[in-house]
Amino acid sequence: MQDRETWLELHDPEISSADLVAEIEMRVQLRREELGQVRLVSPTFGTVSSYPEPPTDRPYNPNLYHHLRQANEMEPPVTAPVLADSPSTQVPFLGRFWQLIRSQVHELVLFYVNRYVGYETQLDNHIISSLNEMTRVIQVQQEEIDILRNEVEVLKEARR
C-alpha cells in the first residue's frame, strides 16, 4: 500500500505535501459530517417490475388490478410478412419476378415497422414497470392512511 504522504509530492517551501494532505482530509471529513450519510439508490436495469398482487386485508379497486394484470401479461406483436396468393404470381416468368418484388417490399416495410415496434415495446415495459411501482406506493400509502384514520378515531373517542 502506498504511504499517504508519497502520493503527492510538492516542492514548495511554504507548504509540505503532508500538510496539504492533512488539510484535504480534514475538509473531506467536515463535508461528510455536513452532508450526512450518502444513500445511493440504483434502479434495477433490464427487468420489468413485477405485478403487485391486490391487497387481501382491505377493499381495493378491481379495475385497476385487472387492467394492470392485462398490461403485464401482454406480449409485443410479432410482425412477419404475410403475402396472400395473387393471380399475378401465376404468370410464367413475370409471376416469379412479381412475387420476389412483393416479398422484398414487404421486408423493407417490416424492417421499419419492427424498429418502431422495438421502441414501443421498450416504452411499454417502462410504463408498465412505472405503473407497477406506483401501485406498490399507493398500497403502502393506503396502509398508512388506514393506520392514521384508526388513530384519529381513537383520539376522537378519547376526547368524548
Taking residues 25-47, what's their average pLDDT? Answer: 80
The pLDDT value recorded for residue 1 is 44
Under a CB-based contact definition with an 8 Å cutoff, are residues 48 and 75 in contact?
no
Angle at CA of residue 25, ends 20 and 29, nearest 5°: 150
CA distance 160 to 39: 45
pLDDT tens for 83-120 read 777 887 778 878 888 888 888 998 999 899 889 988 99
Task: State which H helix or E strand residue 35 sits in.
Answer: helix 17-35
For residue 125, the tally of other CB atoms under 10 A from its CB is 15
Name the amino acid, one letter, at 137: V
pLDDT surpassing 70 at residue 6: no
Residue spans per domain, the chain: 1-41, 62-159
pLDDT bracket for residue 76 (50, 70, 90): confident
pTM for this model (two decimals): 0.56
Q: What is the pLDDT of residue 134?
A: 92
pLDDT per residue as tens digits for the range 118-156: 899 888 888 998 999 999 999 999 999 999 999 999 999
Instruction: Work out the mean pLDDT of the chain and round it to a whole number.
Output: 84
4 pLDDT band (50/70/90 cuts)? low
Identify the band that residue 7 occupies on the pLDDT scale cut at 50, 70 and 90: low
pLDDT digits 0-9 by tens, 40-60: 777 666 666 888 888 888 888
Cell of residue 84, nine digits:
396472400
Q: What percent of the chain has pLDDT over 70?
A: 91
> From CA 100, how far away is CA 86, in angstroms rounded?
12
